Amino acid sequence: MTGWVIDSSLALAWALPDERSARADGFWSEITGDVGLFVPALWWYEVVNAMVVARRRERLDEAASAEALELLARLPLTVDPAEPRSVARSIEGVACSHQLSAYDAAYLELALRLGAGLASLDSRLCDASRAAGLTIW
């Protein structure tokens, strides 16, 4: 295994105070600097959208949102360098095969392509990833 693909649910459970999770905390506390952490390009959009929604729902103020985004920006993540159009058909195939949204399929497709495990709190994505033979955190 080459490392872990991190989905936004795991990162947000670590960054948002009201979504704390022992499972997410355990992942982040056990990861060492020599383990590759990967995300698809859409990860940042999902994270920022979660912050926007949290602010709208008054779960976070502007300062807390900025702090959470800064915390996430310090993570040693590698964003998938593949041109989105070059993996679009593969993502579509994974989505259709596993009955996932294209967004969730992007994580699974990346993990499959890299030979990485998947770190997620999303039960549907975890189930699909297990069915595809991936290691799940």
Q: Is residue 136 part of a domain?
A: no
Q: Is residue 24 part of a domain?
A: yes
Whether the CA torsion 64, 65, 66, 70 is positive or negative: it is positive
Total number of domains constituting the chain: 1
Amino acid, single-letter form, for residue 85: R
Q: Whole domain around residue 75: which residue ranges?
A: 3-131
* CATH code assigned at 39: 3.40.50.1010
Q: Is residue 8 part of a domain?
A: yes
> Rounded to an integer, what distance in angstroms lies between the CA atom of residue 93 and that of residue 102?
9
Q: Is residue 137 part of a domain?
A: no
Tell me the H-state helices in 57-122. 62-73, 84-98, 102-114
3 is written with which tokens? 């490392």
Per-residue pLDDT of the chain (137 residues; tens, 9 = 90+): 689 999 999 989 988 888 888 888 888 888 877 889 999 999 999 999 999 999 999 999 999 999 999 989 999 999 999 998 999 999 999 999 999 999 999 999 999 999 999 999 999 999 999 999 999 99
> Rounded to an integer, what distance in angstroms lies between the CA atom of residue 9 and that of residue 60?
17
The 10 Å Cβ neighbour count of residue 64 is 16
What is the model's pTM?
0.92
Can you tell me which residue has the tokens 């070059």?
A: 86
Can you tell me which residue has the tokens 């926007």?
A: 52
